């Protein structure tokens, strides 16, 4: 019932190359290209469970860091136990006020944000925010950001062997703080930070990759080589909006991170590229608003997804995405989500 | 969560009164809803609107639903999109959200200050106070020695300001709720020519003098003339609220302001709508290592949506 409590389970030597599925190895399970309206063979509900980086999840839908507060903001809207995993706002060594307002600018199909990692700091997080998650059956991944290798390592150590923490997501891709992007845009630094964390903790380590690079597969490979257990991608894309009346940038820091459905094609492309490069399970993030959006990521090679900005528009977005995923699987005759992973067919060619 | 457009009425200029049929809703004056046309990607984010009024089922045939009323001025993408909807159109609808005005138990005089399109929560408060128009404002010993409450009528004085007479809204609603209404416009097209805060200040100055005179002239406490158990409730543009806060502080009157900030979600998840507050007033937020730019005093950010939008005026780092 509560797999997250059993911290040791599935965490043997083989953990670092954990397959995406707990039920079956991630071999290519036949292309079930039930093209058009195949009626569900039975009314049996598909199995939604996945195991990512050794963490057993009820389903492949998580909440993206920075879009789900500390979880409690959502309890008035739905039962958080419905989620596959929860990832909370980035935690840093010390509390941070974040950036001055305005922090959000709307763009067509998306938004730019420049929150600046406002958070309570690791001490207050462990004391005040973490206890709530112990009451849930849904595992918690803690997203951390350090200013140095040492900070990343220290934060990881602080979270190790703490009840209620199932894994660590590394924010090496925040565009809104000084140096926030460095660890995620230089493959040598990516390798170093992932290795530092890998050596500091026994918890599953999941770097969150930045799209603000020429070739994301280089960064992905560096993270994999350094011992990452899975990869989350993508974080926001650096963007900018200018107020034509005042002729000034709309955000005080000029630039911000673009999120929302506007970036989804970029995210799908990057998941697809990385899936062909590294063997690690991938967690797809970027503008997922519906179940079909999530399916796109599974087809591209993601083993799970995170719902982010959509939760701002509708606090129920994550559970609606989950319902949509289940409906798709049922409609197309899949008995689980895992057979779908990475099975996007080759592009259609006119002459064949 | 969805609601449907029940009606849309253009008042004048760019002001619209819009009603939504929503799932049953109970609200506190000052609370807001997040609304945008359903399925719309541009505008992408919902917008926050103060609730003006909620009609309960029963008063009207609403089929177990409530009719929620908002008043807004078309200024950008979000309000434009909303003003183009028709009856029956679906909207994404979330609320009520945030904290409304807190009504002190001993309140005898409510000083309501509204600027421009900041008027809806103030009207909502006036209508709420009108419904609970009696208040306990003192006590005296009866013959038996038991304390018995003195019940009196709550007094409401409203100050409504706008740039022109077109920007002065809901005066009739406030009068209907029982408030004495004073109006100011910047161009003098109606009421006092000047700012609404001029009116508040001169009212307080005369009340202050009146209270002192009566206190020295007679031993009997005349509640009418006293501003003592009164409170200021304000909503309007930021500079107006700042001025109201200064005046309230000078006259030592409690003051609550409903502030505005661009919101992403409306319920505390996105952390976009921060308001600088005085750190001393902040409960247990540990001090941050990095201080806010262009602000010398120690401040802490609070979320307009979750911690507000109504704040104690003295809490805000103006």
Residue A11 has pLDDT above 50, yes or no: no
- Tell which of A104, A244, A245 to mutate to test the B interface (max B CBs under 10 Å): A104
- The yes-or-no answer on residue A151 being catalytic is no
**For A107, phi and psi rounded to 5 degrees?**
-130, 165
**Using the beta-carbon criterion (under 8 Å), do A106 and B271 form an inter-chain contact?**
no
Considering only residues A24 and A202, tell me which one the structure prediction assigns the higher pLDDT: A202
Question: What is the structure's pLDDT at A93?
Answer: 96
- Alpha-helical regions (H) of A62-166: 121-124, 130-134, 149-159
Determine the residue of chain B that is closest to A108 in CA distance.
Answer: B42
**Using the beta-carbon criterion (under 8 Å), do A97 and B300 form an inter-chain contact?**
yes
| pLDDT tens, residue by residue, A225-262 | 999 999 999 999 999 999 999 999 999 999 999 999 99
Report whether B50 contacts B120 (CB < 8 A). yes
Query: Pick from A112, A103, A194, A212: which is nearest to A152 by CA?
Result: A194
What percent of chain A has pLDDT above 90?
82
Q: Estimate to the nearest angstrom the gap between the alpha carbon of A212 and the chain centroid.
A: 16
**Using the beta-carbon criterion (under 8 Å), do B272 and A113 form an inter-chain contact?**
yes
Options 2.40.30.10, 3.10.20.30, 3.30.565.10, 1.10.1740.10; CATH for B2-97 is 2.40.30.10
Residue A284 has pLDDT above 60, yes or no: yes
CA distances (Å), B257 to each of A313, B27, B195, B279, in order? 26, 17, 17, 18
pTM over 0.90: no
List of long-range contacts for A157-162, beta carbons under 8 Å, 24+ apart: A157/A200, A157/A201, A158/A122, A158/A126, A159/A122, A159/A201, A159/A203, A160/A200, A160/A201, A160/A202, A160/A203, A161/A7, A161/A202, A162/A126, A162/A130
Residues of B whose CB is below 8 A from A100: 274, 292-294
| pLDDT tens, residue by residue, B16-72 | 999 999 988 899 999 999 999 998 999 999 999 999 999 876 555 556 678 999 999
Distance (Å, whole) CA B191 – CA A167: 64
| pLDDT tens, residue by residue, B303-312 | 999 999 999 9
Residue A110, classed as helix, strand or coil, is strand
| pLDDT tens, residue by residue, A28-83 | 333 333 333 444 445 678 999 999 999 999 999 999 999 999 999 999 999 999 99
Domain spans, chain B: 2-97, 109-140+148-258, 263-309
Strands A50-52 and A55-57: antiparallel
**Using the beta-carbon criterion (under 8 Å), do A95 and B294 form an inter-chain contact?**
no
Cis amide leading into B281 (omega within 30): no
CA distances (Å), A312 to each of A68, A75, A110, A118, in order? 9, 14, 11, 17
Q: Estimate to the nearest angstrom the gap between the alpha carbon of A133 and the chain centroid.
A: 18
Options 3.40.50.2000, 3.40.50.80, 3.40.50.11540, 3.50.50.60; CATH for B109-140+148-258 is 3.40.50.80
Residues 6 or more apart whose CB falls under 8 angstroms from that of A201 comprise A156, A157, A159, A160, A168
Distance (Å, whole) CA B318 – CA A35: 61
Task: Name the residue among B43, B273, B292 with its Cβ closest to that of A100.
Answer: B292
Residue B289 has pLDDT above 60, yes or no: no
Domain A3-99+114-240+260-340: CATH class, spelled out:
alpha beta
Q: Which residue has the tokens 């599925």?
A: A21
| pLDDT tens, residue by residue, B226-285 | 445 799 999 999 999 999 999 999 999 999 999 999 999 999 999 999 999 997 544 444
Question: What is the structure's pLDDT at A196?
Answer: 97
């Amino acid at each position: 019932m509560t797999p997250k409590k059993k911290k040791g389970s599935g965490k043997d030597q083989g953990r670092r190359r954990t397959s995406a599925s707990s039920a079956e190895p991630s071999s290519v399970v036949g292309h079930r290209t039930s093209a058009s309206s195949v009626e569900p063979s039975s009314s049996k509900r598909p199995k939604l469970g996945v195991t990512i980086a050794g963490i057993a999840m009820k389903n492949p839908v998580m909440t993206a860091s920075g879009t789900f507060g500390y979880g409690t903001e959502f309890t008035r809207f739905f039962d958080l136990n419905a989620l596959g995993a929860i990832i909370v706002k980035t935690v840093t060594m010390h509390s941070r006020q974040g950036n001055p307002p305005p922090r959000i600018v709307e763009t067509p199909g998306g938004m730019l944000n420049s929150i600046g990692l406002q958070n309570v700091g690791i001490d207050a997080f462990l004391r005040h925010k973490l206890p709530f998650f112990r009451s849930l059956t849904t595992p918690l991944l803690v997203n951390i950001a350090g200013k140095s290798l040492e900070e990343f390592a220290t934060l990881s150590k602080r979270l190790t062997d703490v009840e209620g923490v199932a894994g660590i997501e590394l924010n090496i891709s925040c565009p809104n703080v000084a140096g926030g992007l460095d660890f995620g845009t230089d493959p040598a630094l990516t390798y170093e930070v992932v290795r530092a964390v890998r050596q500091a903790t026994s918890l599953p380590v999941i770097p969150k990759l930045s799209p603000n690079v020429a070739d994301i597969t280089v960064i992905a490979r560096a993270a994999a080589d350094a011992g990452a257990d899975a990869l989350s991608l993508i974080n926001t894309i650096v963007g900018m909006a200018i107020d034509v009346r005042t002729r000034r940038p709309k955000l005080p820091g000029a630039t911000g991170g673009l999120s929302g459905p506007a970036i989804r094609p970029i995210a799908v492309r990057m998941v697809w590229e990385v899936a062909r490069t590294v063997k690690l399970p991938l967690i797809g993030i970027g503008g997922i608003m519906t179940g079909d959006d999530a399916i796109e990521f599974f087809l591209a090679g993601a083993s799970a997804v995170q719902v982010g900005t959509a939760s701002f528009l509708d606090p129920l977005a994550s559970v609606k995405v989950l319902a949509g995923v289940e409906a798709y699987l049922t409609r197309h005759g899949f008995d689980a989500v895992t057979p779908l992973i990475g099975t996007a067919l080759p592009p259609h060619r006119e002459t064949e | 969560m969805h609601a449907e457009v029940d009606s849309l009425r253009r008042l004048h200029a760019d002001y619209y009164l819009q009603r939504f049929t929503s799932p049953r809703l109970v609200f506190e004056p000052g609370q807001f809803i997040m609304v945008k046309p359903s399925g719309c990607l541009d505008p992408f984010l919902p917008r926050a609107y103060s609730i003006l009024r909620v009609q309960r089922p029963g008063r009207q045939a609403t089929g177990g639903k409530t009719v929620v009323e908002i008043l807004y001025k078309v200024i950008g993408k979000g309000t434009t999109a909303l003003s183009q909807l028709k009856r029956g159109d679906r909207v994404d609808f979330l609320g009520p959200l945030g904290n409304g005005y807190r009504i002190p138990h001993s309140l005898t005089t409510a000083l309501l200050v509204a600027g421009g399109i900041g008027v809806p929560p103030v009207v909502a408060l006036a209508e709420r106070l009108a419904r609970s128009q009696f208040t306990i404002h003192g006590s005296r010993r009866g013959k038996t020695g038991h304390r018995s409450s003195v019940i009196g009528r709550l007094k409401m004085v409203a100050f409504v300001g706008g740039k022109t007479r077109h920007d002065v809204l809901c005066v009739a609603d406030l009068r209907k709720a029982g408030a004495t209404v004073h109006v100011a416009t910047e161009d003098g097209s109606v009421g006092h020519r000047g700012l609404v805060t001029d009116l508040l200040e001169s009212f307080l100055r005369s009340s202050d003098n009146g209270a002192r005179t009566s206190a020295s002239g007679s031993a009997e406490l005349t509640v009418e003339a006293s501003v003592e158990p009164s409170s200021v409730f304000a909503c309007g543009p930021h500079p107006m609220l700042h001025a109201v806060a200064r005046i309230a502080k000078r006259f030592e009157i409690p003051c609550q302001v409903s502030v505005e900030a661009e919101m992403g979600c409306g319920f505390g998840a996105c952390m976009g709508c921060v308001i600088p507050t005085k750190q001393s007033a902040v409960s247990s937020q540990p001090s941050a290592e990095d201080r806010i730019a262009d602000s010398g005093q120690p401040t802490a950010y609070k979320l307009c949506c979750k911690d507000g939008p109504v704040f104690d005026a003295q809490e805000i780092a103006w």
